[in-house]
Amino acid sequence: MKKLVLAAILAVLCGGASADMLYAIDGDVLYGVDPDDGSYAALTDSWSGTYLLTSCDGRLYAIQGDMLYVADPYDGSWEGLSDTWEGSHSITASSRSIYVAQGDMVYLADPNDGSWLAIPGDYTGVQFIAWADGALMVIQDDVLYRVNPATGTFETLPSSYAGTTAVAGSDDWLYVVQGDDLYRVDPATGDYTDLGGGYGGCWLLAEADGYVYCVWEGTLWCTDPITGDYAGLGSGWGNTTAFCSLH
């Protein structure tokens, strides 16, 4: 990472009335986090053991053990939607649907009732999924694919993604932590830009209002995806197990 002076960059990097919010499960508690300054509010507890968190259509969705839950982003109140999700390892969402990688399958889950179906295609070896640029981006056996989840048709994108530890998507970009570096990837072509190192071991990544956020070694960081400049937004996140943004 490129070292910057906090006071000089916070207003530039992450300032200015963000319309998005960040959410983190740290220990047993679900928190809402302001991406502008890292301030936070505890919402609800009983979330211990949750490792997958995403947002869809203005609500939060989490997998804890065998259950898929929906939570209100304002007060954290929740209800269970469906079970049989034990062993899921990656989650993402479009504006209308939730996608979950479980074993060698990718499932579409209805955000209203949790009902699900397997999307077409062969996903043996699937490692990560993310929604970016109107498509399901799949890293499978270290290869990046752009997938139409309705039909299963796909495009194979260039480069190897061996060593990837975290992914996040936006309307325009896919962000990938691979080894020590953070990359901005064009989801249509696979062309990428290296945004710098210092991210080794990061596995919690999200995009909000055009910036990239990660939890790394107990600190929340904000990175400018154009320049690679970054700023710390506060520590105390050492027990964070799940992280996402809500647009």
pLDDT in the model for residue 19 = 80
pLDDT tens digits, 129-156: 999 999 999 999 999 999 999 999 999 9
d(C-alpha 145, C-alpha 168), whole Å:
14
Q: For residue 9, with 0-12 CB atoms within 10 Å meaning exposed, 13-18 middle and 19 or more buried, which class applies?
A: middle
pLDDT in the model for residue 15 = 53
Residue tagged 């640029």 (tokens): 133
d(C-alpha 55, C-alpha 63), whole Å:
12
pTM of the prediction? 0.93
Write the class of the CATH domain 6-246: mainly beta
Average pLDDT over the chain reads 93
Cβ proximity of 174 and 185 under 8 Å: yes
Q: Which two tokens stand for residue 12?
A: 């530039």
Alpha helices in the chain (DSSP H): 6-13
Q: How many CB atoms lie within 10 A of CB 51?
A: 18
